[in-house]
Amino acid sequence: MAKKNAISAKTQTPAAKEKQVIAEFEKHIYDLQQMLEISKSFCSTIEFSPLIESILYVAMAQMRVTGAGLFISEEFGSEYFKLSENYSGIAIDPTIEYKIGIDSPLIEFLSSSSSVFDLHELSEKFPESQEIKVIESLNPSLIVPLMLKNHLNGILVMGERIFVENLSADYTTYEKNEIQTIASLASVAVHNASLIDQSTTDMMTKLRLKFYFYNILEDKLDSAFFQEQTLSVIMFDIDFFKKFNDTYGHACGDYVLK
């Protein structure tokens, strides 16, 4: 079969070769346009939940997989990358805690690499790793680090590939490069969303600050106006809070706020 293909390639006419080159060139242009649209989509979303959902659906569509999940550090100073609810189309075992320690050897390895991996490669590297067992339970077809300037912002786990006739179930080098590009764009978006999240969140109560509230309120008002819907705002207030602080101290006041 290999000999036959070699003979076929040698006997290919110049016109056929030119047609093939043009087809490949057109595919590259199409893929670049896709990446531009994906970049716009990621950059236009600053809230974590819609952003994660967008990343998962894009990865699933581009790589033709049945599901995907994303391990991320959801809070500033967190010691773990967590899956939480950041997945779609993946079967989750309720007895397993889907988190990976930031200081684990697996995270150190992924942070120092610019590659994508299948489960077999990581299992060979870390045969006794509990973190690998956690990932293994998701039955991944590919594990993709989200890297930005040598910093790991997340781990994208690709689910089972969808069978398509005349297409291999294995990832080609071109597809691996493509998902790495998507992961790079996703990593930038996750990093930016994290910075916005930190700058608009009160570290003590974990509540949003006034700046964030006004931005969201403006969006909701515009949406309500164009869709001709009503909008309500509920405000809570703590009566005599200053008196409580003065009587019991600010530490107790902070406890009440939390």
Closest CA to 196 of 51, 35, 37, 79: 51
Residue 49, both tokens? 């939940």
pLDDT for residue 219 is more than 90: no
* Strand stretches in 110-251, DSSP E: 142-148, 151-158
For residue 216, what are the CA distances in angstroms to 49, 174, 210, 220?
14, 40, 10, 6
- Cβ-contact 84, 70 below 8 angstroms: no
If you average pLDDT over every residue of the chain, what do you get? Answer: 85
How confident is the model over 142-150, as a mean pLDDT? 91
Q: What percent of the chain has pLDDT over 70?
A: 94
Q: Is the pLDDT of residue 206 over 70?
A: yes
Q: Where are the domains of the chain?
A: 45-199, 210-257
Check if CATH label 3.30.70.100 holds for domain 45-199.
no
Task: Kindly state the DSSP code that residue 151 receives in the 8-state scheme.
Answer: E
pLDDT tens for residues 12-50? 787 778 777 777 777 777 777 777 877 777 777 777 888
Six token digits for residue 160: 């089972």
pLDDT computed for residue 7 by the predictor: 47
DSSP, res 72: B
Q: What is the mean pLDDT of residues 95-109?
A: 92
In this prediction the pTM is: 0.73
